[in-house]
Structures are given as C-alpha cells and as structure tokens.
Amino acid sequence: MTLRQLLYLIRALDEGSISAAAVALNVAQSAVSRQIALLEAELGTALIRRGGRGIEATAAGQVVEREARTILARVDALPGLVERAPGSAGISVGASASFGGFLFSRLARREHGESIRWRFVQAATRDLLAAVDSGDLDIAVIAHLPGQPASGSGYHVVDLCREAVYLVGRRDLLPPAEPVPLAEALALPLIMMPAGSLERQGYVGIAQGLGAALNVVADAPELDLKYALARGGVGFVMIPVSGLEPLRESGTLDARRVDTLELERCLIMRPSFADHPACRQAQRAIRRIVSADGPAQGIHSIP
C-alpha cells in the first residue's frame, strides 16, 4: 500500500470518474486505474463501484476513504509541523537590551563547533516570558534582583551569571566616590522602566527593605532613551554592567558601581524543550560566551 494509491483513490472519488481524476492528477487514465486495482487487490475487496453519478465508494471503500483522507491530511501538514518544531528553524534567544548587546553579537560571530542558526529578540522581561509561553521564543535570558523570584512557575530555569549594577549619569553630576552606597543611589533622581515592570518592582522592593522610597523622575522603556535622558541631565540610570558597552563611545556619560548590589541572570525555557538537543547546544554556546568574555566585563558565571 502506498500514498500514491490512497491519493488516486481519493481523487477518483472526488472527481467522480477515473478519467477526470487522471486529468486532475496529470497522469494517464490507465495509471489511476492500475493504482486503485493494486490497492483493492492488497485489501482483498472492491473499493469503488459505478453509480448513477459516476463512481462511488463501496462499504469497504468508505472505511478506506475516511482513513485515507486522515493520512493524506497528516502528510500535507508534516512540513509545517517540522518548521514549527523547537530548534528546527534555528534557536531563538531573547534578552534585554543591556544583556543582548553583550551576548547577541558574540553568539552570531563566534564558532562553537555547533550548527546553530540564531534568531535574536530584544524585549522587556514580561514580553520575553510571554513569548516563551506562546512558543515564539525558545530561550529567554531573564534578570532578577535580590529577593525577586527568577520567574513564574511552570518554566525550566537554569542559572547563568551575576552582574554588578552601576549608576550611569553625566560626569558632572555623578557622585565622585565609588562605590556609591545603595541607599544614596536610590535617593537620586532615577530614570527607570515603567511602573509595573519586573525591573521597577525589584527596585521598589529593595528601597522598601531599606526603609526608603524610590525616587523615579522619568519612565523610559528603552535603554537608548534612558541614556538620552541621562545625557540631558534629567536623572540617573541603574544598569547592570553588561549595559555599559555603549558608554565607551559617550563623551558625556560615566558610571559608578553601586555598592553591594548585584543582579542574577538565568535561562528560561519551556520544560518540553529543555532536553531538546538543539536547546542543550544553545545553552552550551551561551555559557561559553559568558565564561570566556564575561569576567573581563564584570559578568561572572554561576556554576
């Protein structure tokens, strides 16, 4: 029994005649007749008969027709299923603008001995988690502050690295001493992610733990916008060390390390994808980047 035999049978039933099926399939009429005859011989029963409106299925033919349509529909759907399978079209990795700036270019240009095609996504934490939930993103690199959970429940979580947090602002406005005490940094006019973001919630929790209020003077969802506002003297930005790379080209902004404050990053993925070979390859590649290039940037792997 072959898919061709099933296809020719279904087409003959749909068209109502062997000759019409042959035209639709662009084959000889004898080829259609022969394939249906071979199928009938293998099953040991007639599958079609002539009726008032052309050929129609026998009782046995109706059973075969029903199953054949299901089989052919699944075959037609197979390419799309493969295309959507985790890792089959490459690996999608998402991160914040700060860590993405450190990670993405290094992943894209370095040879790891792994045959990985990367797709990169830069977004806020909530959007990254939503993309993992929907299956649009394979791996999300998520940051969390002290006392803040890494993510919600239902994810596979792998610890990745720790980063010091820095206070960024205009050179003429920054506190002169380094490190800047945490309470002092939180009392300065700050430019932060909008209220309700996981980053903002983390800093609110830290301030409350110190018995202080967070002094936010501007909401800015994008890292470039935060830096633009800081250059204008609006306030200061609290940023992990991976987000400092753009400052190398800035003649206006500088950074001071914030005392005792570090954030942690982890890899978030769906449990069903965590053991996929492509996922394991991607995790190894990301860890190699962090281990090789992270320490020089102040990014330290978590074993």
CATH (domain of 134): 3.40.190.290
pLDDT digits (tens, 9 = 90+) for 235-260: 999 999 988 877 766 678 999 999 99
Answer yes or no: do 74 and 139 share one domain.
Answer: no
Rounded (5°) CA angle 245-164-180: 100
Q: How would you label 188-205 residue by residue, b for 16+ Cβ within 10 Å and e otherwise?
A: bebbbbeeebbbbebbbe
Answer yes or no: do 66 and 203 share one domain.
Answer: no
Q: Flag whether the pTM goes above 0.75.
A: no
Query: Which residue has tokens 């000759």?
Result: 19
The interaxial angle of helices 3-15 and 18-25, nearest 10 deg, is 120
Answer yes or no: do 98 and 62 share one domain.
Answer: no
Answer yes or no: do 20 and 147 share one domain.
Answer: no
> Which pLDDT belongs to residue 74?
84
CATH (domain of 24): 1.10.10.10
pLDDT band for position 51 (50/70/90)?
Answer: confident
Mean pLDDT within 183-211: 92
Number of domains in the chain: 2
Mean pLDDT within 143-172: 85
Answer yes or no: do 71 and 32 share one domain.
Answer: yes
Residue 54 contacts residue 26 (beta carbons within 8 Å): no
Domain span including residue 27: 3-84
Answer yes or no: do 66 and 196 share one domain.
Answer: no
The interaxial angle of helices 125-134 and 198-209, nearest 10 deg, is 130
More confident site: 84 or 236:
236
Domain boundary among 69, 84, 99: 84
Residue 164 contacts residue 242 (beta carbons within 8 Å): no
How far is it, in rounded angstroms, from Cα 286 to Cα 302?
A: 12
> Looking at the predicted structure, is the pLDDT value of residue 185 above 70?
yes
Domain boundary among 84, 119, 152: 84
pLDDT digits (tens, 9 = 90+) for 261-279: 999 999 999 988 888 888 8
Answer yes or no: do 139 and 193 share one domain.
Answer: yes
> Looking at the predicted structure, is the pLDDT value of residue 106 above 60?
yes
Rounded (5°) CA angle 113-110-107: 105
Pairing state of beta strands 156-170 and 299-301?
Answer: antiparallel
> Which pLDDT belongs to residue 113?
46
Q: In the 3-class helix/strand/coil scheme, how is 226-250 assigned residue by residue?
A: HHHHHHCCCCEEEEEHHHHHHHHHC
Mean pLDDT within 147-152: 66
> Which pLDDT belongs to residue 187?
94
Answer yes or no: do 195 and 296 share one domain.
Answer: yes
What mean pLDDT value characterizes the chain? 87
Answer yes or no: do 61 and 104 share one domain.
Answer: no
> Looking at the predicted structure, is the pLDDT value of residue 57 above 80?
yes
Answer yes or no: do 212 and 266 share one domain.
Answer: yes
Answer yes or no: do 135 and 224 share one domain.
Answer: yes
Burial of 48 (0-12, 13-18, 19+ CB in 10 A): buried
Mean pLDDT within 127-146: 90
How far is it, in rounded angstroms, from Cα 55 to Cα 49?
A: 5
Report the chain's terminal Cα–Cα distance, integer Å: 55
Answer yes or no: do 110 and 223 share one domain.
Answer: yes
> Which pLDDT belongs to residue 151?
62
Please name which of 68, 22, 198 lies closest in space to residue 123, comparing C-alpha atoms: 198
Domain boundary among 84, 104, 135: 84
